Amino acid sequence: MTKAAHLSLRGLTKHFGEVVAVRDLTLDIPASTYVVLLGPSGSGKTTLLSMIGGFTAPTAGTMLLDTADITMMQPAQRPTATVFQDYALFPHLNVGENVGFGLSVRKIAKAEIKRRVADALEMVGLAGFENRRISEASGGQRQRIALARALVTQPAILLLDEPLGALDLNLRRQMQDELRALQKREGRTFVHVTHDQEEAMAIADKIIIMKDGVIEDAGPPQDVYSRPRSRFSAQFMGESNIVEGTVIGGFADTQLGRFPVAGNGVAGVSIRPENLALTSSDGSVSLGLADLDETVFQGGFVRVTAKLGNETIRLRVPPVDIANAGEKVEIFLKRGGATALEA
């Protein structure tokens, strides 16, 4: 098996009684990429990860790792390893024994286990921790120990089931950076489940947005955020102004006026709050005068709510641009700031 592997999912379906958790899903995950499965609770993302790991058998469909059919292969036989949300560490074993547990089960020679455990701990920044007790490890260290235990088996694909959910905000952001750096350094294929949009955008090469067991949108983080395919994707990936209208020839006709849009969708238009402004810029389009309802200071920007015709719209503007509630303000759409939605 190669160091990293290409995963192909074809028509993957999973029923739990009458509930369809994953529905006829087809997806290619290229080798050496960091893919994030993102969606709300009940979207099917965790069930999909569980099927890839062999913990849940699909009702229908196939899974290929490079050219090998792994659809019905048991977890222990798959070239995958999983980092669980609760880490599942053994409190009666020390750090080194926890990390090397999978190798011991496979009857690997003790000298080889010792070497690979040391390498894995160094990989995650815990060199020399072999003899520490699990009870002595902090939350961040336990996350790294669980990661080392998965990496020590040298999997072709590493599966991560919301691994950062138990960490505080600062540590979570630090671990996001470390996970991405580790994946690039090791060159392995990572498949990571989360419901956190910021986390997904920080670490992924490709985001797969799921809803009701199907793929709603997919692509690099910047594309999924800036050019969402559907209303659900636009609103799930962050705040968005959804405007009704018709799109013909690269222009949208809406209640806010006529303006250029990217894409050729027929289900309305998405405008991110940061793509609206209170001052004009090169290539911007005036949407007219609005009544400013509310301003909320949020550090580096101000969240503005305004009434433009019959539409309530939200903007994200620099603090220097704010006006007072009740004033009339002119709203500008920045160049390239609107996207036509397909669904």
Domains (range + CATH), the chain: 7-231 (3.40.50.300), 242-340 (2.40.50.140)
Average pLDDT over residues 160-181: 87
Q: Which pLDDT score is estimated for 306?
A: 94
List, in sequence order, every beta strand (DSSP E) within 212-337.
214-219, 241-243, 245-248, 251-254, 257-260, 269-271, 276-277, 285-297, 302-308, 311-317, 328-333
pLDDT of residue 3: 64
Mean pLDDT, rounded, of the chain: 92
Q: How many whole angstroms separate alpha carbon 124 and alpha carbon 215?
A: 32
Amino acid at 138: S
C-alpha 108/C-alpha 258 separation (Å) is 68
Instruction: Please state whether the predicted TM-score (pTM) of the whole model is above 0.75.
Output: yes
Split at pLDDT 50, 70, 90, the class of 19 is very high
Task: Output DSSP code: residue 164.
Answer: T
The single-letter DSSP state of residue 334 is P
Question: Which pLDDT value is given to residue 299?
Answer: 85
- The b-or-e profile of 95-116 (16+ CB within 10 A means b, else e) is bbbbbbbbbeeeebeeeebeeb
Q: How far apart are CA 48 and CA 25, in angstroms?
A: 9
Residue 1 scores a pLDDT above 60: no
Q: Which residue has the higher pLDDT, 47 or 105?
A: 47
Give pLDDT tens digits for 103-146: 988 888 999 999 999 999 998 889 999 999 999 998 888 888 99
